[in-house]
Structure 1
Amino acid sequence: MIRPGLTFKLSVLLACIGVLASGATGYYAYHANRALLVDEAGHSLLTSTELLGQRFAASIDDVSADALVLATMPSTANVAQTDDGFGANVARDRLAQVYSNFMVHHPEYLQVRLITRQHHGLELIRFDRDADGLVRVEGDKLQEKGQFAYVFDTLTFSPGRIYTSPISINHEYGTHAAAGKPTLRLGTPVADANGAVVGVVVIDADLAGMLKRLQSDLPSDYHVYLTNEWGDFLVHPDASKTFGFDRGRRVLMQDSFSATRPLFEQRQSEVMVNGLTGPTQAAGQVLAFVRRPFCGPEGNRFIVLGLAKPLDHVLSGAHRLGYSIIRMVLIFSGLAVLLAILFARALTKPLHLLAHAATHLFAEHAMHTLPLKRTDEIGVLARCFDRLRREIKAQMDVLHDKQHELAHLATHDVLTGLPNRMLFMQKLESAIDEATRRREGLAVLFVDLDGFKQINDQFGHSVGDKVLVAVARQLKQVLCSADMVARLGGDEFIVLIEGPRVAEAAPAIAARIMEALNETLRVDGHGMSVGASIGISLFPDDSGTAEELLLNADAAMYAAKSGGRCAYLRYQDVLDARLRERDEQLEQARSARARIGEGTTQGREAEPTA
């Protein structure tokens, strides 16, 4: 039964909230509205500046990722190493189509180039952007760029690193629409199969286009500032103040806004200034500046990004605040009376929450709404209910954990933790279905340890178990994450390999397994070598079912073991050997019959003479 005092406490509470809210709102609005608006505008600008900086960095990372994609394509390294010829031109044209697609899908890219290390940094593939679209530069119009930093510096990088140029005006000859535009160049090395750098991929990005796309979500009254690490304006509302170093007249941010000097001295990472508290530093504006690293972790390069908003726009709401104060006081007072009248509804709401929680016992969202912090009878009931739910859930969790543990034990080997035969066969059957759908192959490798019986007999079963665990660990280290290794029992393991060229890869993988298992193991201070014989069966060449693939791999393994331990053999090789043996037996039989026939004929010819 609910206490009568609850109604009184709730009525007093609601009345106090209404009176205090109305008084505090009026007082705070009268004495702090201007400072509050300006401060909120500054923080909003700072947040927007941080987000704009993150988006700018993300845009540069996207360009870097595109350059890495182009540089790591196998065809890129092949084209960079080949001279002119029909085959080389065909490969170059195919690769050029990929570069063209990148330009089509990234309108902010002004140029995409593949530059070879040979011939003084000669361009092999080059796409420019002009007013009519994309232009592929070919033949004699391709230029040698070995003298530019974005080429000779990038050639010294290790594969995977990104060269980021300073942001400058593009003055290179014959760059079509890129000429005279603020440009950011990103390059990355192209490496051959041996890791030797054979060329570079360079992407020229339009700085103005990137910022225009990033500024699309900003309000129209925001102004953007961007400088390099020396303070030269790269972006400014007044275009005449940008890239002054390119025209011999430097315009620096720290001279225009003295409050930003700590950013360039790297004593601060962000600065806010406004015309209300600092009219000499930001006349009629609210500004926020942040310093962000540029060109990766190495070096000490950075940019300073800033946003500005007119102070008049920030304070425009203050003129309407006086009228809002009266409305707010009336609204809050009326709300206090209304809440006091409707306290019965508020009183029954916790009961509805308890009923909802009871019908959704294990739903976390229902539990979050329980009034657990209340000190009255409803709070006691809610806490008791929550404790009961937690105990039930704990028991259910224990039961689920036991079920998961049993399920794992049913499909995995207890000693090595590897999948057992049942799980392997399920995986193999699903892999066969997937390979059939994709028209690909797969391989099954049956691995039998050659020296395990001697180790077991010499050192005992406990050492033998540790050897099996070590062998399982070595097999997982040798195989790729996509491959599967399982233990069938005893010293027998089975491996599943999937992929488009598995027939060529399976012998190499078998050789790596044998090499790993031939290494000396150290178990309990004993050095021992296990060794293994491996049988290989392929799908669909050797069989189309999981059981037959396993049996064929087993047969190939026994053939390899009988022919000499520590060897691998394909099932097709076993069939070929059997076929050759049968042909030899047939040939021997025919020879024997021929000799018998000759002897009979000679005997018949000799009888009349006798």
Structure 2
Amino acid sequence: MIRPGLTFKLSVLLACIGVIASGATGYYAYRANRAMLVNEAGRSLLTSTELLGQRFSVAIDDIGADALVLAGMPSSAEIAQTDDGLGENAARERLAQVYSSFMVHHPDYLQIRLITRQHYGLELIRFDRDADGLVRVEGNRLQEKGQFAYVFDTLAFSPGRLYASPISVNHEYGAHAAENRPTLRLGTPVANGRGQVVGVVVIDVDLAGLLKRLQSDLPSDYQVYLANEWGDFLVHPDSSKTFGFDKGRRVLMQDSFSVTKPLFEQSQSEVLVNGLTYPRQAAGQVLSFVRRPFGASEGNRFIVLGLAKPLEDVLSDADLLGNRIIRMVLVFSALAVLLAILFARALTKPLHILAYAATHLFAEHAMETLPLKRTDEIGVLARCFDRLRREIKSQMDTLHNKQTELVHLATHDGLTGLPNRMLFMQKLENAIEEAARRQESLAVLFVDLDRFKQINDQFGHSVGDKVLVVVARRLKQVLCTADVVARLGGDEFIVLIEGPRAAEAAPAIASRIVDTLNEELLMDGHNMAVGASIGISQFPDDSGTAEELLLNADAAMYAAKSGGRCAYLRYQDLLEARRLEQLEQARAQASEGATEGHEAEPLA
């Protein structure tokens, strides 16, 4: 009996090794690719969840800033202290126009109200929203709200603080479009010149509309979950599970997703889980949840926000790659058997090289040793390995690019390409730190377009969008490369000027901006002029924080707009004007008292 020779044994051995190596490589690549795709999808989903949560917090902060602006207006305190809501009052009507403009520019606002401490919390100015637009509630229709927590709790706050109510369904009588809508209320005290709280400003926010706007750019296959600090679902793909506490039954997030319990216990701030690693806790899904405080932490308010993506969508590319890997493994196995029979000895060294490359698929030095230039089957096999690695790397690059795009969308305005409020505030805070370290100054210019609403109303929003793009381009042309210009939203822009020249150059730059924006535009065959009002605040003269600099510039802008459009005003000039106005009032009161005293002398 003839025993098999060494060549046959070596051929069989090499064939077995080739088949096993090919199968192991395919299996490892498939499993590794699945795990990589799920992990990358999880990180991308967590990033999206954090960005959505950050947008929610920023939106709430913006609403709080609007409430502080309205409460800080001197006329608010005067009306809250002296008015009863009845009869004609010119000051009340002027202030009502300001409230109306805030409602017009913020479609998420359901109500804006000025409520006095007197008359059992009587509403003095109130604007509602209904299906036809804004509704002004006046006269006998104004209601007493002193019994509501958002009034008496806010009255107990010191000026400048914000009250954030629990998110609930609005059941107040006569609330128009706000009735039976998920609502978040933000309130802030109104104080007179002596610091006494004489009323409150309350803004009711449409939570559903706010979230719809914030999540408008999310992929369509993402599912959104939102819960309050107690775990009640506020947003759920199944609408029957939302606001259960308002329907007599509570549906809690921590009951539906047990992994979220640490978020409500405040022991963790984020949770990421997928159905591939934890099939019981996330069946067929990739889930990410984050806890996000809001309302300047007053009352320890927070939400838990979650995003979910079907695991099937994440692994679709992996399944496609798995089919390719199976075919490639079969081809490699056939080649291994053939090459083992024909070239057993010649293939010993190359097969070792291929086996090493198969077990080090992502190592660049291993791929460099492959005989890619060979024209035989070894070269084909080597190139197949290289192609496999390139396909996987291409998928990783694609995921990275998508993540980069999400980050860019989160920090830049989608229409003009300018930095948005979040990115600008980061730059401003960094600039303040640098200016403080160098003992230099910087200036913030708050630019508000004067005639943009008329352009939108007359020519349509498409023309308005084109005008905003042209305005952004003109602003960048006026400014130096070192200056920063950003769009806050709507027709509001903000400019940051750094360096030793900031204090002296800011008025000149503001003047150039006003002149530039006063120049006529030719847009779709129409000549139009936009115009702008600008408020200027400076560091460190006006404030040492980013938020206060922005608020001061905003206040100066409103004063400039009130004084006449297409003008600019420094915050220091605004303070000086207010001081002079107070002196004039004091002198007038003193003169009036002296006159009354002289008239009383003959009676004595």
TM-score when normalising by structure 1: 0.51
Q: CA deviation at 1:500?
A: 7.2
Give 1:101 shift: 0.6
Q: Is the 8 A contact 1:123 1:142 kept in 2?
A: yes
Distance in 2, matches of 1:507 and 1:302, equals 43
Matched, 1:312 2:312: yes
Q: Is the 1:82–1:88 contact (alpha carbons within 8 Å) kept by the matching residues of 2?
A: no
Q: Distance in 1 between matches of 2:305 and 2:508?
A: 55
Q: 1:311 to 1:89 in 2, by over 3 A?
A: same
Task: Note closer, same or farther for the CA distance 1:177–1:317 as it changes in structure 2 (3 Å cut).
Answer: same
Q: Is the 8 A contact 1:286 1:309 kept in 2?
A: yes
Alpha-carbon distance between aligned partners in 2 of 1:507 and 1:242, rounded to the nearest angstrom: 53
What secondary structure does 2:307 align onto? strand
8 Å CA contact 1:294, 1:301 repeated in 2: yes
Distance, in Å, in 1 between the alignment partners of 2:507 and 2:258 is: 70
Greater RCO, 1 or 2 (C-alpha within 8 Å, sep 6+) = 2
CA contact (8 A) 1:188 1:201 kept: yes
Counterpart in 1 of 2:42?
42
Closer, same or farther: CA 141–117 of 1 in aligned 2, 3 Å: same
1:347-426 correspondence runs (5 A): none
Alignment of 1:141-160 (within 5 A): 141-160=141-160
Counterpart position of 2:238: 238
**Per-residue deviation, residues 581-607 of structure 1 (Å, max 9, x unmatched):** xxxxxxxxxxxxxxxxxxxxxxxxxxx
The amino acid across from 1:102 in the alignment is: F
320-329 or 177-186, larger mean C-alpha shift: 320-329
CA contact (8 A) 1:285 1:310 kept: yes
C-alpha deviation, 1:42, in angstroms: 1.5
Q: Which residue of 2 aligns with 1:264?
A: 264
Larger Rg: 1
Contact residue 29 and residue 321 of structure 1 kept, 8 A: no
What RMSD, in angstroms, separates the aligned Cα atoms of the two structures?
4.1
Q: 2:306 & 2:188 partners in 1: Cα distance? A: 30
- Distance in 2 (alpha carbons) for counterparts of 1:92 and 1:319: 67
Q: Secondary structure at the match of 2:303?
A: strand
Q: 1:432 to 1:269 in 2, by over 3 A?
A: closer
In 1, Cα distance between equivalents of 2:135 and 2:98? 14
1:112 counterpart residue number: 112
| 1:433 to 1:222, Cα distance in 2 relative to 1, 3 A | closer
SS at match of 2:226: strand
**What's 2:62 paired with?**
62
Q: CA deviation at 1:501?
A: 9.2
**Corresponding position: 1:250 with 2:245:** no
**Relative to structure 1, is the Cα distance of residues 26 and 86 closer, same or farther in structure 2, using a 3 angstrom cutoff?**
same
Q: Structure 1 CA distance, aligned partners of 2:222 and 2:120?
A: 46
What amino acid maps onto 1:302 in structure 2? Answer: F
Q: Displacement of 1:324 after TM fit? A: 6.3
State the one-letter code of the partner of 1:47: T
Distance across 2 between alignment mates of 1:208 and 1:144: 27
- Taking structure 1 as reference, are residues 71 and 88 closer, same or farther at Cα in structure 2, changes over 3 Å only? farther
Q: Does 1:186 align with 2:186?
A: yes
Equivalent position of 2:411 in the other structure: none
Q: Distance in 1 between matches of 2:139 and 2:32?
A: 70
Contact 1:79 1:88 (8 Å CA) reproduced: no
Q: Secondary structure at the match of 2:103?
A: helix
CA contact (8 A) 2:61 2:295 kept: no
1:200 Cα offset (Å): 0.3
Distance verdict in 2 for CA 1:289–1:212, change over 3 Å: same
Deviations 1:277-301 (A, max 9, x none): 2222222211111112233334443
Q: Which moved more, 1:65-74 or 1:84-93?
A: 84-93
Deviation at 1:499, TM superposition (A): 3.9
Q: What corresponds to 2:123 in structure 1? A: 123
Task: State the distance in 2 between where 1:217 and 1:231 align.
Answer: 26
Residues in 2 aligned to 1:56 and 1:137: alpha-carbon distance in whole angstroms: 29
Asked if the contact 2:30–2:318 (Cα under 8 Å) also holds between the matched residues in 1, the reply is: no
**CA deviation digits over 1:200-245, x for unaligned, max 9?**
0000000000100011111001111111121111111111000111
Q: Give the AA of the match of 1:260.
A: T
Equivalences for residues 523-542 of structure 1 within 5 A: none
1:351-392 CA-partner distances (Å, limit 9, x unpaired): xxxxxxxxxxxxxxxxxxxxxxxxxxxxxxxxxxxxxxxxxx
The superposition leaves residues 44-67 of structure 1 with CA deviations (integer Å, 9 ceiling, x where unpaired) of: 111111111111111100110000
What secondary structure sits across from 2:304 in the alignment?
Answer: strand
> 1:12: which partner in 2?
none
Aligned equivalents of 1:501, 1:231: Cα separation in 2: 46
Question: C-alpha distance in 2, partners of 1:139/1:285?
Answer: 55
Percent identity between matched residues is 73
**1:504-550 CA distance string (max 9 Å, x none):** 969999xxxxxxxxxxxxxxxxxxxxxxxxxxxxxxxxxxxxxxxxx
Segments of 5+ residues of structure 1 without an aligned counterpart are: 1-21, 341-403, 405-428, 438-479, 483-496, 510-610
Aligned to 2:550: none
Structure 1 CA distance for aligned equivalents of residues 106 and 177 of structure 2: 15
- String of CA shifts for 1:56-111, please: whole Å, max 9, x gaps: 11110011000001000111111111235999611111111111111111101000
SS at match of 1:119: helix
User: 2:65 and 2:140 mapped to 1: Cα distance?
Assistant: 30
- TM superposition shift of 1:258: 1.4
| Number of residue pairs the alignment of both structures matches | 346
Counterpart of 1:31 in structure 2 is: 31
Map of 2:280 onto structure 1: 280
Contact 1:120 1:144 (C-alpha < 8 Å) held by counterparts: yes
| CA shift for structure 1 position 169 | 0.2
**Contact (CA 8 Å) 2:112, 2:127: kept in 1 or not?**
yes
